[in-house]
Amino acid sequence: MEKLDRTDRKILKLLQEDGRIATVELADKIGLSPTATSERLKRLLRDGYVTGFRAMLDPGKLGRGLLVFIEVGLDKTTADIFEKFAAAVRRAPEVLECHMVGGGFDYLVKTRVADMNAYRRFLGDVVLGLPGVKETRTYVVMEEVKSDGLLPV
């Protein structure tokens, strides 16, 4: 992969802020021609700097206003259990994110549900049924302070 220059970084920053920006508008904001901008954008996509585009949805309007993080501890930490756990999590659409972590537990799971009753069902029906789960700790988000997910570029 090529090293990113200032213009590439500016393109990435603008795309994070508005993935639907027209190439002509993007070109205007970075001071290049639409053709040169289009070529840079194709390269950034080809080289994997941009991994996709998607709409940001309002969780509350979709009945998923409660954000919850769950620490998951496994009963044993073997390659086989890690693989089974990861495969099961990938099949669970309710799981928004799942990260294997170092420290006092094995995985951090992020989900959004309608309310505490929905969370209780999710915990019992999904999380506790995942392979190897020994224990969980739940953290209900009271306020989302920052959740834009923009990377500094």
123: pLDDT confidence band, cut at 50, 70 and 90? very high
Q: Give dist(CA 1, CA 114) in Å, integer.
A: 43
Which 8-state DSSP code applies to residue 129?
G
- Strand ranges for the chain from DSSP E: 66-74, 95-100, 107-113, 133-140
Of all helices (H) and strands (E), which one includes residue 81? helix 79-90
The encoded tokens of residue 83 equal 């693989």
Domains of the chain: 6-46 (1.10.10.10), 60-140 (3.30.70.920)
Model pLDDT for residues 86-122, shown as the tens digit of each residue: 999 999 999 999 999 999 999 999 999 999 999 999 9
Query: Is pLDDT above 70 for 148?
Result: yes
Model pLDDT for residues 11-53, shown as the tens digit of each residue: 999 999 999 999 999 999 999 999 999 999 999 999 999 999 9
Q: Provide the pLDDT for residue 149.
A: 82
Q: Provide the pLDDT for residue 1.
A: 56
Model pLDDT for residues 59-77, shown as the tens digit of each residue: 999 999 999 999 999 999 9
Residue 11 and residue 153 in contact, taking contact as beta carbons nearer than 8 Å: no
The encoded tokens of residue 145 equal 């302070």
2: pLDDT confidence band, cut at 50, 70 and 90? low
